[in-house]
Chain A
Amino acid sequence: MSQWVERHLKWVFTMPAVIFIVVMMAFPIMYTGYISLTEWSMSAVEPPKWVGLANYAKLLGSDVRFWKAVLRTFYFTGLALIFETLIGLALAMLLNRDFPGKNLVKTLFLLPMVATPVAIGMVWLLMFEPTIGYLNYLLGVLHLPAQSWIGAQSTALPSLALVDIWQWTPMMSLIMLAGLVSLPNDPYEAAEVDGATAWQTFRHITLPMLRPTIGVAVMLRSIDALKTFDIIYSMTQGGPNYSTETLNIYGYTLGFQYFSLGSASSLLVIFFAIVMGVVIFINWARRGVTA
């Protein structure tokens, strides 16, 4: 027995996790794939009805709501990612210097990303409130027009992106800070000898050397940003008038509010393909830049 264990060691160690993955992940994925080819409303008496690719054809061919959700997903992700990367980089540069209380400041910057998103969503609801919220008060102080924030179709999605930026910029900057700290010192000394300005040093030394780290940070963040659920669902549930309905929210609504499991499943399969495509694209872009 122990001989056998010794010989098949790697499988003995990994087997429990593999079984969990097969039962809880691989099987559900295949099941979702199967359901996506049927029409079913989770009824006990009526089994799923085989419809082939009809759900996919309907979503891709004639469902305007689906295509709008695709666009919103990319809009939200793009908007959040641009600001998170830029502000994250700036913040990492600012934190990469010695000042008293540095450790405490770094620690406090952790808080937005570990705080419970739904609870944080409630706090932002209060701050976005058009009449009593702090943000409109601030706009008033600056003599800027008050906004409806998540209350109006045109501003709702950017407002949610703002919450995402608040939540995840610190994460981006901590990853970039870890990258900055690990950079070699020699190029900087050479630049100082050559009399390079701070901007030149940043542009021609820091940025190129940090690029791989930024690439990984962008990839990890975009995977999660595309799938954002907690903040959107807890604050707007996709409203007003579907203006914040991203793919994840639409899939959830189709599945658990309309109980139209076939359409929901086919949407999720397409959604997975999209996220995978983005990951492959970013990976390709990263390789291209390095090569």
Chain B
Amino acid sequence: MNNRKENRYYQIGAFVLLAIFFVVFMFPFAWMIISSFKTQVDIMAMPPTWIFTPTFKNYTHVFEGQEFGWYIVNSFVVATLATLASLVLGLPAAYGIARSRMHSLGFTILVARIIPGITFLIPWFILFSKLGWIDTIQALVLAHMLVTMPFVVWVMIPFFEAIPSELVEAARVDGCTEQFAFMRVVLPISGPGIITASILAFIFSWNNFMFSVILTGAHTKTLPVAIFGFLSYSEVNWGGLMAAAVLITLPVLILALFTQRYIIRGLTAGAVKG
């Protein structure tokens, strides 16, 4: 029958189309990595070369002056603290909202997603200036938490709602307080949800540019701010720029590759029922 043959063409077409999409979406990453091993001369070559003698000079150049190492430390410390603090505040809140069905509060937290971030930045900048907190870790962590804390709550509410309330009731009958039941019964079985929330909170903080560019200074500069600063040189050192881009994105990409299951769940949370 004709239909079967058509189906076969259809399948081949779909495969080719998917392959094209795949190449297009992966190309910038490939070009970033390749260019990071090229000399300025190779980068300038037209037509672009795929075969060349790789150099590590761009990477050693990035680490010259030792500052870049500090930017990595800053980014890591800020992202870790912002994630932990968001979990400490966000997990109980999400649980409280899920258990007592306070959805208006959940909605309030989500308004944070709609409000333009700069709206907060102006008052914070004034407040932090008065406190002498510009260019401090705590100011940056607090600012990043504005993104990460609501996100933790948003991801965790459906997870907590899915936990059968009989489980908590049973613990309560055995004489547990509600806090104890939360710590000993609910949290241990919420592992996947907590991992999802933590990974994405960490990535959002690591990637944050808008808050960091205003609130950081020489001591607390994070990686996105640092790479943006590389641009201000009169002649762009493309190889160095690409090496820095690789160093910034690589931790996130590796984290994403190993935890993709959680990330897909987290990013699509709330969008699809279940």
Interface residues of A (CB under 8 A from B): 2, 5-6, 9-14, 16-18, 20-21, 24-25, 27-29, 31-32, 35, 42, 87, 90-91, 94-95, 97, 99, 103, 105-120, 122-127, 131-132, 134, 137, 166, 169-171, 174-175, 178-179, 182, 198, 213, 216-217, 220, 223, 227, 229-230, 233-234, 247-248, 251-252, 255-256, 261, 264-265, 268-269, 271-272, 275-276, 279
Distance (whole angstroms) from the CB of B108 to the closest CB of chain A = 7
Q: Which 10 A-B pairs have the closest CB atoms?
A: A13-B96, A17-B93, A28-B123, A10-B100, A119-B245, A107-B260, A118-B224, A14-B96, A31-B123, A13-B92
Q: Are B122 and A32 in contact (CB-based, < 8 A)?
A: yes
Complex Cα distance A22/B121, Å? 15
Closest to A28 in B: B123
Complex Cα distance A216/B122, Å? 31
Contacts of B96 in A (CB 8 A): 9-14
Q: Are A20 and B145 in contact (CB-based, < 8 A)?
A: yes
Question: Can you list 11 contacts pairing A with B, beta carbon distance less than 8 Å?
Answer: A5-B178, A10-B100, A112-B28, A115-B249, A122-B241, A122-B242, A123-B31, A166-B25, A166-B28, A229-B118, A272-B115
Contacts of A94 in B (CB 8 A): 14, 17-18, 21
Secondary structure of the A contact surface, majority rule? helix
From known contacts A21-B109, A229-B209, infer whether A108 and B26 are also in contact, taking CB-CB under 8 Å: yes
Complex Cα distance A268/B123, Å? 12
Distance (whole angstroms) from the CB of A208 to the closest CB of chain B = 16
Contacts of A2 in B (CB 8 A): 177
Complex Cα distance A125/B153, Å? 36
Q: Are B267 and A5 in contact (CB-based, < 8 A)?
A: no
Q: Are A117 and B209 in contact (CB-based, < 8 A)?
A: yes
Closest to B273 in A: A182
Asked whether B114 is an interface residue with its Cβ less than 8 Å from the other chain, the reply is yes
Q: Are B95 and A114 in contact (CB-based, < 8 A)?
A: no
Complex Cα distance A91/B19, Å? 11
Q: Are B122 and A261 in contact (CB-based, < 8 A)?
A: yes
Asked whether B142 is an interface residue with its Cβ less than 8 Å from the other chain, the reply is yes
Given contacts A28-B124, A112-B28, A114-B207, 18 further A-B contacts (CB under 8 A): A5-B177, A5-B178, A13-B93, A16-B92, A16-B93, A17-B153, A20-B149, A24-B120, A24-B124, A114-B252, A134-B27, A166-B28, A170-B25, A175-B272, A182-B272, A227-B117, A255-B122, A279-B114
From known contacts A21-B108, A94-B17, A116-B248, infer whether A178 and B120 are also in contact, taking CB-CB under 8 Å: no
Partner of B228, one of A113, A118, A132, A182: A118
Contacts of A216 in B (CB 8 A): 270-272
Partner of A123, one of B25, B28, B121: B28
Q: Mark B106-130, 1 if CB is under 8 A from A, else 0.
A: 0011001111111111111110010
Q: Are B241 and A126 in contact (CB-based, < 8 A)?
A: yes
From known contacts A94-B21, A116-B207, infer whether A32 and B214 are also in contact, taking CB-CB under 8 Å: no
Q: Are A119 and B227 in contact (CB-based, < 8 A)?
A: yes
Complex Cα distance A220/B272, Å? 12
Asked whether B162 is an interface residue with its Cβ less than 8 Å from the other chain, the reply is no
Query: 8 Å CB contacts to A: which residues of B156-213?
Result: 177-179, 182, 203, 206-207, 209-210, 213
Q: Are B267 and A174 in contact (CB-based, < 8 A)?
A: yes
Partner of A110, one of B17, B48, B264: B264
Complex Cα distance A275/B112, Å? 12
Q: Are B268 and A178 in contact (CB-based, < 8 A)?
A: yes
Q: Are B100 and A9 in contact (CB-based, < 8 A)?
A: yes
Asked whether B52 is an interface residue with its Cβ less than 8 Å from the other chain, the reply is no
Q: Are B93 and A137 in contact (CB-based, < 8 A)?
A: no
Partner of B271, one of A14, A95, A120, A220: A220
Q: Are A116 and B249 in contact (CB-based, < 8 A)?
A: yes
Partner of B248, one of A97, A113, A119: A119
Q: Are B31 and A134 in contact (CB-based, < 8 A)?
A: yes
Asked whether B56 is an interface residue with its Cβ less than 8 Å from the other chain, the reply is no
Complex Cα distance A106/B179, Å? 39
Q: Are B93 and A272 in contact (CB-based, < 8 A)?
A: no
Closest to B238 in A: A126
Complex Cα distance A117/B210, Å? 11
Asked whether B223 is an interface residue with its Cβ less than 8 Å from the other chain, the reply is yes
Complex Cα distance A248/B108, Å? 22
Q: Mark B19-61, 1 if CB is under 8 A from A, else 0.
A: 0011011111101100100000001111110000000000000
Closest to A269 in B: B119
Partner of A14, one of B25, B92, B213, B231: B92
Contacts of A230 in B (CB 8 A): 207, 209-210, 224
Contacts of A227 in B (CB 8 A): 116-117
Q: Are B116 and A268 in contact (CB-based, < 8 A)?
A: yes
